[in-house]
């Protein structure tokens, strides 16, 4: 806080994954180390981050008081509530609190015996503001469906893809850079990608004749038979850039394992770096199957404590479940994922 010149009660802008942002009030905590911050589950969901992820924090002193905001509840959190939602939940929550909010964020309000989740639909000014006593709060409208929110939470982004760091950099260079910053290319006198439908081969042109002639259109394609592609498609102005996604190396395998295990409960003895080093030759599907089988193996070890006839499982059994290093080494009949590749680094003596 001293380095950022922040004081208790200041407003900060947090940046997470998938270009998600949120505004929060900062508080000091002597029990938290300098390189870490504490956030509740609601804020983490708004930023699309999990425990242990990296976020960006910057002071945001210029947040203006809101003239009006529009918030709607999430449907499954207001089922059975018949009272005035504004009087029971929103008014006490914002009263003299000067809370910062951002468009698109979800916040949790507790009142009585219930907790209701609300989504910020609109703010004036946008995209964020501070709810002051003079701010008009609108909450009219149909509740937001939980399914729609969960779908947005599960959006796939670059952070959900591992083992292809170099290839992602190439794709960003080919797609995002010219679309987001075409001025860079104009400044050096070259044309950005665009109007590709004018230069496409006739076979694809027939399928894409619905495209209008417009700039900022990029066509991407994938194949598992690169040697069978017509050379005409590879000429400049057509599919003139190729990204080869091969078998991941140890660093790539570690990234893939971290993605597949980010929601798994791992024991302290699990060393994902060792697993990555010992799975030479495995691709993403193999590593996904390995993680799945390791989780199933952890459950199999507790089967004698689980009564399949009961509708619920004992809480102690649930809490004791954790995937160990031995679970990753299991060999399941019919599944070809196990730590078999002991000689990932070959020398002349191995040939």
pTM of the model: 0.51
CA distance 296 to 133: 54
**Structural domain boundaries enclosing 307:** 156-350
pLDDT grade, residue 119 (50/70/90)?
A: very high
First vs last C-alpha separation in the chain? 58
* Alpha helices in 22-121, H assignment, sequence order: 41-47, 85, 91-94
CATH number, domain at 25? 2.40.40.20
Tell me the average pLDDT across 271-279: 89
Report pLDDT for 121.
94
How many residues are listed for the chain in this entry? 351
3-state secondary structure of 319: helix
Q: Are residues 133 and 185 in the same domain?
A: no
189 & 330 share domain: yes
Percent of the chain residues topping a pLDDT of 70: 74
Nearest to residue 219, comparing CAs of 231, 232, 233, 55? 233
Same domain assignment for residues 205 and 110: no
Q: Rounded to 5 degrees, what angle do the CA atoms 182, 156, 37 make?
A: 95
Give the H/E segment covering residue 56. strand 56-59
Q: What is the CATH number of the domain that holds 218?
A: 1.10.8.60
Q: How many domains does the chain have?
A: 3
* Tens-place pLDDT, residues 207-229: 544 545 555 667 788 888 888 77
Question: 192 pLDDT exceeds 70?
Answer: no
């Amino acid at each position: 806080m001293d380095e950022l010149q922040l004081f208790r009660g200041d407003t900060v802008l947090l940046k997470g994954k998938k270009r998600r942002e949120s505004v929060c009030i900062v508080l000091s905590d002597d029990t938290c180390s300098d390189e870490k911050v504490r956030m509740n589950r609601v804020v983490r969901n708004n930023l699309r981050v999990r425990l242990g992820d990296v976020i960006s924090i910057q002071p945001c002193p210029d947040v203006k008081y809101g003239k009006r905001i529009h918030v709607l509840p999430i449907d499954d959190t207001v089922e059975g509530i018949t009272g005035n939602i504004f009087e029971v939940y929103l008014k006490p929550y914002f009263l003299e609190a000067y809370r910062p909010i951002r468009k698109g964020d979800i916040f949790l309000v507790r009142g009585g015996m219930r907790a209701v989740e609300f989504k910020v639909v609109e703010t004036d000014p946008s995209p964020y503001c501070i709810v002051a006593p003079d701010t008009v709060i609108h909450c009219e409208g149909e509740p937001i469906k939980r399914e729609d929110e969960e779908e947005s939470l599960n959006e796939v982004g670059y952070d959900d893809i591992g083992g292809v760091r170099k290839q992602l950099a190439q794709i960003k260079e080919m797609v995002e850079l010219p679309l987001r910053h075409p001025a860079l290319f104009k400044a050096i006198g070259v044309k950005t990608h665009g109007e590709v439908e004018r230069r496409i081969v006739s076979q694809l042109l027939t399928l894409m004749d619905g495209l209008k002639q417009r700039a900022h259109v990029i066509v991407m394609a994938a194949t598992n038979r690169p040697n069978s592609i017509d050379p005409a498609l590879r000429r400049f102005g057509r599919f003139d850039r190729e990204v080869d996604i091969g078998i991941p190396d140890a660093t790539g395998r570690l990234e893939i394992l971290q993605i597949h295990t980010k929601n798994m409960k791992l024991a302290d003895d699990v060393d994902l770096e060792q697993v990555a080093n010992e799975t030479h030759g495995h691709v993403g599907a193999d590593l996904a199957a390995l993680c799945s089988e390791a989780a199933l193996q952890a459950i199999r070890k507790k089967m004698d404590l689980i009564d399949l006839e009961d509708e619920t499982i004992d809480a102690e059994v649930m809490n004791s479940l954790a995937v160990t290093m031995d679970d990753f080494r299991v060999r399941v009949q019919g599944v070809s994922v196990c730590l078999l590749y002991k000689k990932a680094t070959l020398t002349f003596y191995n040939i």
